[in-house]
Every structure is written in structure tokens, then in C-alpha cells.
Structure 1
């Protein structure tokens, strides 16, 4: 895994929100397509996100943004309790160590971290020392999605 030498990890800025929403939508609909049906992808990441709610949540959490050559290549956020809410890497920057770099910073200062990991993300978290606590089934817009509640103790 070769992380690009020009990657910058920085704090989230409210002006980032529209780009993070696009990255989220595009990542779900491309990277996660191998593990979820088109209906599930649409239920997970529909075309009309609540920009205001996302902006509030990202601002309230410790949120980091990865930039590579001036392009937002990923982002992640964690709350004060150690709940890792979101971690997404742009489809063109997968496998370059960006998620690892984000997680390394997001996990700092927490004794216990929890997350809901997709089928796609589960192997990444297992490699980082997380364990599956339980399978989780969530229903969004009448469509069931499988993910995993995972935790890591540092």
C-alpha cells in the first residue's frame, strides 16, 4: 500500500460539505456495489441528502479530510464517545492508505472505538484490530441493509 506523498490530512471546514456528500454518494455507488444491490445502494445513499444535517454532524464531530493533489480523496469523523461515524475514500484513491491515515488520527485519544461497518469495510476494520460484536440489519426506505457493529479497545 503506497500512500501518495502529497496527501494532506486536515480539519473539516463547513465549505467541504457539498464535496463530501458527492464523495459519499459516489463511493457507496461504486465501491460498495460489489456487496450490495442497486436498491440497497439507493436506500443507503439516495440522491437527496440532508446537507444541513450532514454539516451539523460533521461540525459537531472530530472530522478529518484527506486531500491528494488538491482533490478531496477521503474523510472520516468520530464523536466524543469514540463512535466512528463515517469513513469514506474516493473510488479513485482506494488501497493507497488514506483510510488508514484517517483512522490513525481519528482513533487517537480514545480507549474504545465503535463503528457500524459495511460488508465492504468489514475486512479493513478487522485488519485494524476491531472485532465484530454483532451483525446488524437496518431498514432504510423499506430496504434492509446488513452491516456489522464492531469495536476496538486500545
Structure 2
């Protein structure tokens, strides 16, 4: 049974651990070792994660009191992150998080949701009728990442 709830600051260690481990184990299929190390190091910035949890619409998916996924919005309709625990992939958790996020965007009065997504995540969003606006190269700590700006009209 998966429960969706808003994140609280006490969730921070589980959220950052899930973020790091998902990147290390799932995204490594599409990115180099150096890219993965740089990306996963984003889990170390507790100040940034604290701000994400406290200032944004940030939800977690729980199974048996363990956080197995999370998603959050910035700017009302920008899906800034959606991650599912490496051991809980392909169980409908990402889809459930996405539905709740999209509902929040609609309730906030927006007609469209946007996101930047990795090569790894693109097929997931394609399954939910997201369109690619453009492919881009993002620079982070000396590494260049190929990703995609996607959107969906709600």
C-alpha cells in the first residue's frame, strides 16, 4: 500500500539518500561515471533540500513507513524532481506521484506542466503523454548533461 503525503523536514535524510541511490543505480545506464558522481553529490546540499521541502509543494510516497519516492513542484507548475527508490521501480509509484503533482498544478490554475528530465526518465514521461519541447545540454560542476525540456497541457 502506497501512501502519498506532503514531506516534512524530518524526511530530509531519507529523501537525500533516495535521490543519491536512484542516480547511482538507475541513471548510471545513460550517464558517465563522472556525470553520475557530480549529479549524486547534489544530495549533500542540505540547505538546498531543506528549502525545497519547506518552500515548495513537495510530496513523498511511503510504503511500510519507508519513503519510496518523492516529487516536488516549483513556480506552481514546474516539476523540479520526481524520483522513485531503486528497489521500487516499475510498481506504479512514479505514476501515482505524477497524478498528484498534476492535480496540484490544475488546482493552482495552471494549464500546463513543464519539467527538465534525464534520458533515463524520458520514456516514463512519454508514456504519460508529455511532449519534448527541446533537447538541451546542461552544465553542472564541469560536466555536460543531455536532458530534455518536456511539457504537457492539462
**What TM-score bracket applies, with the shorter chain setting the length?**
over 0.9
Q: Structure 1: how far apart are the matches of 2:51 and 2:143? A: 26
> What is the CA-CA distance between 1:57 and the residue it aligns to?
1.6
Q: Which sections of structure 2, spanning at least 5 residues, go unmatched?
A: none
- Answering whether residue 9 of structure 2 is matched by residue 14 of structure 1, we say yes
Deviation for aligned residue 1:58: 2.1
Name the counterpart of 2:138: 138
Equivalent residues in 2 for 1:33-72, closer than 5 Å: 33-46=28-41, 49-72=44-67
Q: 1:1-154, aligned counterparts within 5 Å?
A: 6-46=1-41, 49-108=44-103, 109=106, 110-154=110-154
Total equivalences in the alignment: 149
Q: Which is further off, 87-96 or 62-71?
A: 62-71
CA distance in 2, matches of 1:85, 1:65: 14
Contact 2:70–2:84, Cα closer than 8 Å, also in 1: yes
Give how far 1:47 is off. Answer: 6.9
Closer/same/farther in 2, CA of residues 104 and 37 from structure 1, 3 Å limit: same
Aligned-residue offset at 1:80: 3.8
Q: Higher helix share goes to which structure?
A: 2
User: SS in structure 2 opposite 1:45?
Assistant: helix
Separation (CA, whole Å) in 2 of partners of 1:96 and 1:30: 17
Unaligned runs of 5+ in 1: 1-5
**Against the structure 1 CA distance between its residues 42 and 153, is the aligned structure 2 distance closer, same or farther, given a 3 Å change threshold?**
same
> After TM superposition, where is structure 1 displaced by more than 6 Å over at least 4 residues in a row?
none
